[in-house]
Structure 1
Amino acid sequence: MSAWETVKDNWRVVLLVFMLVLSTVFLFAPAFDSTANAAAAQENPTNLKYGLQLSGGTRIRAPLVGVTAEGVQFGNQSTAEVERAVAAELPNADSADVIARRTAGSATGTVELVADNATQQRLANALDAAGFEYETVRDGVTEATREQTVAVLRSKINAAGLSGGTVQTVETISNEHFVLIEVPNQDRSEVVDIVNSRGTVQIAAYHRVTRNNTTRYVNTTVITQEDFQTVGTAQQGGQGTGPHVPVSIKPSEAERVQRLFVQTGVAGQGGTDCSYRQSPQSTEPCILVIRDGNVVSSFGMNPSLAQSMHNDEWAQDPQFILVTGSFERAQAVSIDLRAGALPAALALDEGTTSSISAAQGENFKRDSLIIGLLAVLTVAGVVFARYSRPQVAAPMVVTALSEVVILLGFAAFIQYPLDLSVIAGFIAVIGTGVDDLVIIADEVMAEGAVNSRRVFESRFRKAFWVIGAAAATTIVAMSPLAFLSLGDLQGFAIFTILGVLVGVLVTRPAYGDILRALLTDR
């Protein structure tokens, strides 16, 4: 038999070898570890990505604050008009706490109240007072709000430099929706500080006004988050400035911003000296940085910047800095401005938060490796004890282990984070894989020696029908766990199904070819 005929006759073995080589490349080739630097590569010789349980970090699982009215009759009013009208009927709320969404091609839509004290009754009362008819009011927010929240949280985590963080929505069997945040190698307090606030930032002018012979101080909103063109990273300060964030304003908004600063007196002749913190009722006009309704910092305007606004020059190059008083506040403001405000806050008190230290993660990783090796040695020992012929047992063990290598390569290629549930899936794959290989070996040798290739293939097909039916049953049983967002069970189900598919399509047929070559002479 020629070499080509040999390869053609054993193409399943060739496919198995190819997949093993490809998986090895995915596991160890630097080109497939796009996020690793030199230091990380020395610590982790493979391209595998580890989840919180094996690397340490923080996991937050919480619903979003809010209630939703469905089937709201908008009439001819825009969503912005609806938001303002409903917010006007809610004490201590503004239009940012109300989200109106019109259903495409319809005069109806949804209205969400996402304030911290949102209840069905409050929203229903506000809609009634504003004159809007509606069908039902329920707890929770809309899918669009959940998706927008996830996108903003991802931006916040990336802007904060927390590499490897993931944000996704999960749904329970009872149709409850949660936002799941996982950030490796970060403690709980840092992650909570980033995701716990909605991150609404605005710049206001704090100044005196006289009305009805009464003088008092008011806040005039000058800049909202939508008005920023660029937002720099937090700076420690220098040349007379403290920690700050450099920003620029959109050209379309520059003249309006300039005019408001001049009208409120913030851009006064010779600049302004702000003493808001010490004497808020006797200070010169100030610029206030307000984050989530709280004043983060207050500062005046230097003479050169004020003069450029008076001369209508600043609007040609609308840049300035937001002084924050501390570098931590500068970081928070920078992250919020770059990521955007959350449409709804997380209800952390209704969710769960867990944190695993890096040392504990290393212990889990070591224990998982030990358990995996014990599983392999146990399976190998049982197989060699069951069969006295090495040509039957040795290929069986090697073939079973090749499934794990292929799955690890796949996990490295898609950068799926390994955790304890995935490791459990690998162990299950080893067990079910060897079970199927035992069925093949027993069926092939059940009636004594295999005299010919035709007899071998007849017996192998009979065994393959049995393991094929078992594989189908496993896939059907695991599919709900793989598609439903059930936390750790999802990873276990996904890799168990993948292991079964690899076994049925690649490794079991390859083992059959190996066994045929070893047991038959013709």
Structure 2
Amino acid sequence: MLEPIRNNWRILLLVVVVVGASVALFAPQFGPETAPGENQSEVSQGITNLQYGLDLEGGTRVRAPLEGYTATGVDFGGDDPVTVEQAVADELDGVQLRDVGSSVGEDVRAVEVTDPSVSEEEFRAAMDASGYSYESIRPGVTAETRDLTQSIIEGKINEAGLSGGSVQQVQSLGGEYFILVEVPGENRSDVVSLLQERGTVQIDIAYPSGNGTAVEEGVLTQDDFENIGTASQRDRGTGSYVPVNVRNTASGGQQSPAATFQQAVVDRGFPSAYQSEADRCQYNPETGEIENSNPCLLLTVDGEVVNSFGMDPELADSMASGSWADTPNFRLTTPEFSTAQEISVNLRAGALPAELDISGEGTSSTISAAQGENYKNYSLVTGILAVFAVAGMVFLRYREPAVALPMIVTALAEVYALLGFAALVSYPIELAVIAGFIAVVGTGVDDLVIIADEVMSEGEVNSRKVFNSRFRRAFWVIGAAAATTIVAMSPLMVLSLGDLSGFAIFTILGVLIGVLITRPAYGDILRRLLTIR
């Protein structure tokens, strides 16, 4: 029993791969995840677990750069990033500190401005006037700002329950970076509105009331903040913070937001509760209860409490005396730097750290559901025609079913394995991916033809030894061709060129599956069919 297994293990491996692909394609546990508020039937993609991208499902694609300019190779001259940002902001008329950022790494020091009203010449003049030397100024923002933008948009898509939505950074051949957002099943206006939507951040007060805890909501809202600083790490200890200034100007006969907040803090007993550094807020976010008698400030983002904190004794004293409202500034503290970044962004006039330039032509496109369904049908017809065309040419070439039929079956098994992989990792099937499948069929059959020609080139194969010798010669040619294909496709995969990445990924994966699994299995099949002994 071991002898047949040892001689045909490559065929068995191909069978295992096909069975695994079948499980990934049809097993319910590998189906697409349901978004909040949806059930499985609402996101079903048919009888398979394949998920379709924008091209085949319909929806909206937005591909736009982030507005701003970045000075690279900046010499900070020993100053800390905040000082540099402030110096540059002071040289730009009408630009607030929150619109100037910096990036500091081992080999990179950069300063960016994200105010869309600032031109390159104005930014260059501000950098020169601030006294910090730099190497060059380029359009666009820093990698940190792009990463933060991508993270925020992904969060918005998830919170909106948009199944299948994706966000990625893509780079043009000219080196310009774009944010690519794809949301199946949504029209352009809804997607643009989502991108420009503002996150809700407010300050609430939780305080003891009777035997429980009461919450006074919205003692400070986004409109009450006059200036929002950039997220920063604490100099000592852990955690991060966002420095903020509250408006102290009254309107409509009402108290200023600073005076209103100050009075609410006094009324809820903060000055008497926080008289030393040992006093702590003990708010439990899971139960929504205060576990001691001290009131707490609650920082909420989109209705969720992200942090709770007490108050510095000096700050509490200044509020008790009424002097704080004259210079109303304090820090919103968070345990994580990423949360501080999100809060800083959501407190601004826009929800993103830099604006997406979606005003130009070609930055967005919409595919209707009917059009996507047509693309899906056309893709299926094209794939079937490609298979029949390849099968017809193979039969015309060899006119021998024992050679041609296994060749077609093996090539189809290769595509089937790729479909199983796409279902397993929930990779959306798009036109570029289908083009990769067709390319895999073409290159795969080419390799199988090389094997068949080499094996049959010198007449009848009368022994396994002769077959193996000829097969090894063919496999060297196939291996070299595979290596060439992988090298040629690798730049398309790593350069973040949008749809071309999917084409390259599945072409390379198909080549690897072919070289490692399907070509050796086809060789074993031919050996069994053609050898005499």
Band of TM-score, shorter chain: 0.7 to 0.9
CA distance in 1 between partners of 2:124 and 2:133 (Å)? 10
1:338-366 CA deviation, whole Å, 9 max, x = no partner? Answer: 9x942211122356111111111111111
* 353-362 or 475-484, larger mean C-alpha shift: 475-484
Letter in structure 1 aligned against 2:408: V
| Cα deviation, residue 318, structure 1 | 4.0
1:103-138 CA deviation, whole Å, 9 max, x = no partner? Answer: 55x9x9422111012222212332344444444333
CA distance in 2 between partners of 1:184 and 1:200 (Å)? 23
Q: Which residue in the other structure is 1:400 paired with? A: 411
CA contact (8 A) 2:454 2:470 kept: yes
Q: Which residue in the other structure is 2:367 paired with? A: 356
1:316 aligns with 2:312: no
Residue among 235, 251, 254 paired with 1:284? 254
> What SS does the corresponding residue of 1:93 show, helix, strand or coil?
coil
Equivalent runs, 1:403-482 vs 2, <5 Å: 403-482=414-493
| Cα deviation, residue 25, structure 1 | 1.0
Q: Structure 1 224/378 Cα, relative in aligned 2: closer, same or farther at 3 Å?
A: same
Q: Which residue in the other structure is 1:5 paired with? A: 3
| Cα deviation, residue 17, structure 1 | 0.5
Q: Which residue in the other structure is 2:384 paired with? A: 373
Q: Which residue in the other structure is 1:346 paired with? A: 356
CA distance in 2 between partners of 1:49 and 1:94 (Å)? 44
CA contact (8 A) 1:57 1:187 kept: yes
Q: Which residue in the other structure is 1:177 paired with? A: 177
Q: Which residue in the other structure is 2:63 paired with? A: 61
| Cα deviation, residue 469, structure 1 | 2.6
Q: Structure 1 466/76 Cα, relative in aligned 2: closer, same or farther at 3 Å?
A: closer
Q: Structure 1 337/158 Cα, relative in aligned 2: closer, same or farther at 3 Å?
A: farther
CA contact (8 A) 2:199 2:302 kept: no
Q: Which residue in the other structure is 1:92 paired with? A: 94
CA contact (8 A) 1:73 1:134 kept: yes
CA contact (8 A) 1:203 1:287 kept: no
CA contact (8 A) 1:203 1:222 kept: no
CA distance in 1 between partners of 2:99 and 2:144 (Å)? 15
| Cα deviation, residue 378, structure 1 | 2.3
Q: Which residue in the other structure is 2:274 paired with? A: none
Equivalent runs, 1:155-194 vs 2, <5 Å: 155-194=155-194
Q: Which residue in the other structure is 1:116 paired with? A: 116
| Cα deviation, residue 430, structure 1 | 1.3
| Cα deviation, residue 171, structure 1 | 1.6
1:379-423 CA deviation, whole Å, 9 max, x = no partner? Answer: 223323333332222211111100001111111122211111111
CA distance in 1 between partners of 2:469 and 2:136 (Å)? 64
1:125 aligns with 2:122: no
Q: Which residue in the other structure is 2:521 paired with? A: 510
Question: Sequence identity, in percent?
Answer: 52
Q: Structure 1 151/450 Cα, relative in aligned 2: closer, same or farther at 3 Å?
A: same
Letter in structure 1 aligned against 2:490: S
Letter in structure 2 aligned against 1:96: R
> What SS does the corresponding residue of 1:348 show, helix, strand or coil?
coil
Gaps of 5+ in 1: 205-218, 228-249, 266-280, 289-299, 325-332
Q: Structure 1 384/129 Cα, relative in aligned 2: closer, same or farther at 3 Å?
A: closer
| Cα deviation, residue 475, structure 1 | 2.2
CA distance in 2 between partners of 1:31 and 1:4 (Å)? 34
CA distance in 1 between partners of 2:426 and 2:527 (Å)? 37
Q: Which residue in the other structure is 1:296 paired with? A: none
> What SS does the corresponding residue of 2:48 show, helix, strand or coil?
coil
1:426-464 CA deviation, whole Å, 9 max, x = no partner? Answer: 112112222222222232223332211112222222222
| Cα deviation, residue 54, structure 1 | 0.8
Q: Structure 1 395/102 Cα, relative in aligned 2: closer, same or farther at 3 Å?
A: closer
CA distance in 2 between partners of 1:84 and 1:33 (Å)? 51
CA contact (8 A) 2:32 2:51 kept: no
CA distance in 2 between partners of 1:61 and 1:25 (Å)? 35
Letter in structure 1 aligned against 2:111: V
When the two structures are superposed, what TM-score results if normalisation uses the length of structure 2?
0.73
CA contact (8 A) 1:72 1:134 kept: yes
Letter in structure 1 aligned against 2:357: A
CA contact (8 A) 1:391 1:518 kept: yes
* Alignment RMSD (CA, Å): 3.8
Residue among 365, 371, 389 paired with 2:400? 389
1:214-243 CA deviation, whole Å, 9 max, x = no partner? Answer: xxxxx963796999xxxxxxxxxxxxxxxx
Equivalent runs, 1:243-258 vs 2, <5 Å: none
CA contact (8 A) 2:43 2:163 kept: no
| Cα deviation, residue 200, structure 1 | 7.6
CA distance in 2 between partners of 1:342 and 1:58 (Å)? 19
Gaps of 5+ in 2: 204-222, 232-238, 271-293, 304-342
Letter in structure 1 aligned against 2:254: E
| Cα deviation, residue 170, structure 1 | 1.4
> What SS does the corresponding residue of 1:431 show, helix, strand or coil?
helix
CA distance in 2 between partners of 1:375 and 1:322 (Å)? 52
CA distance in 2 between partners of 1:129 and 1:159 (Å)? 44
CA distance in 2 between partners of 1:497 and 1:323 (Å)? 42
| Cα deviation, residue 74, structure 1 | 3.4
CA contact (8 A) 1:156 1:336 kept: no
> What SS does the corresponding residue of 2:359 show, helix, strand or coil?
helix
CA contact (8 A) 2:482 2:511 kept: yes
CA distance in 1 between partners of 2:512 and 2:299 (Å)? 59
| Cα deviation, residue 43, structure 1 | 4.3
| Cα deviation, residue 196, structure 1 | 3.8
Equivalent runs, 1:192-341 vs 2, <5 Å: 192-196=192-196, 199=198, 221=225, 282-285=252-255, 309-313=265-269, 316-318=295-297, 336=346, 341=351
CA contact (8 A) 1:443 1:463 kept: yes
CA distance in 2 between partners of 1:30 and 1:202 (Å)? 39
Residue among 9, 28, 31 paired with 1:30? 28
Q: Structure 1 103/462 Cα, relative in aligned 2: closer, same or farther at 3 Å?
A: closer
> What SS does the corresponding residue of 1:173 show, helix, strand or coil?
coil
Letter in structure 2 aligned against 1:414: V
| Cα deviation, residue 282, structure 1 | 4.0
CA distance in 2 between partners of 1:135 and 1:461 (Å)? 55
Letter in structure 2 aligned against 1:120: E
Q: Which residue in the other structure is 2:316 paired with? A: none
CA contact (8 A) 1:202 1:225 kept: no
Q: Structure 1 376/320 Cα, relative in aligned 2: closer, same or farther at 3 Å?
A: closer
1:138 aligns with 2:108: no
> What SS does the corresponding residue of 1:117 show, helix, strand or coil?
coil
Q: Which residue in the other structure is 2:154 paired with? A: 154
When the two structures are superposed, what TM-score results if normalisation uses the length of structure 1?
0.74
CA distance in 2 between partners of 1:320 and 1:139 (Å)? 35
